[in-house]
Amino acid sequence: MKYIRKYLKLTIIFVVILMIISGCNSSSIIDTVVPEINPNPDTNPVNNTLSYIKMTPSSSTIKTSQSLQLVVKGYNSDDEWVILDKSKVILWKWTVKEQCYDCVEPYVTLTPKSGSLSTTFTSGVTGTFYVVVYYQENTGAEYITDYVEIMVTK
């Protein structure tokens, strides 16, 4: 038992020394802006009929090759937060302002593109981008949509 404790202490010290020597810090490990948002409330209000959705980005401005997360929430006619079904998120889509979409498309990722209450947006080029989410409450019903503007800078 004494040997195991010594070995564990030496291992921890060794790892800390390696981190210091390598210059490891949290910003170099993860370059993603992630919101601390729960996409659904714990319980539905009495009026749980969806009236509109609201998309929330973790940031409205990012740098090239940085990622941000977008989360969609649903609200009833009383502006109360309601539970959404992720399978009813039909599509996450993006477009770019004042640039050729086909020219920019290879440098932009949006994942996943459906079936999730959140998505991650990354762009390798600068510009003004719009991300839209399409939610369909019932088959054949109109889409409920929302969009946000994202500025990507150098």
pLDDT tens-digit map of 48-80: 999 999 999 999 999 999 999 999 999 999 999
- pLDDT reading at 23 higher than 80: no
Give CA–CA dist 39/116, Å, rounded.
10
- Comparing 16-30, 104-118, 132-146, the range with the smallest average pLDDT is 16-30
Nearest 5°: the CA angle 90, 30, 23 is 170
| pTM, full prediction | 0.74
Q: Which residues pair with 52 in a beta bridge?
A: 75
- pLDDT reading at 32 higher than 50: no
Q: Which two tokens stand for residue 117?
A: 């209450």
Instruction: State whether residue 111 is helix, strand or coil.
Output: strand
Instruction: State whether residue 14 is helix, strand or coil.
Output: helix
- Better pLDDT: 111 or 37: 111
Give CA–CA dist 13/7, Å, rounded.
10
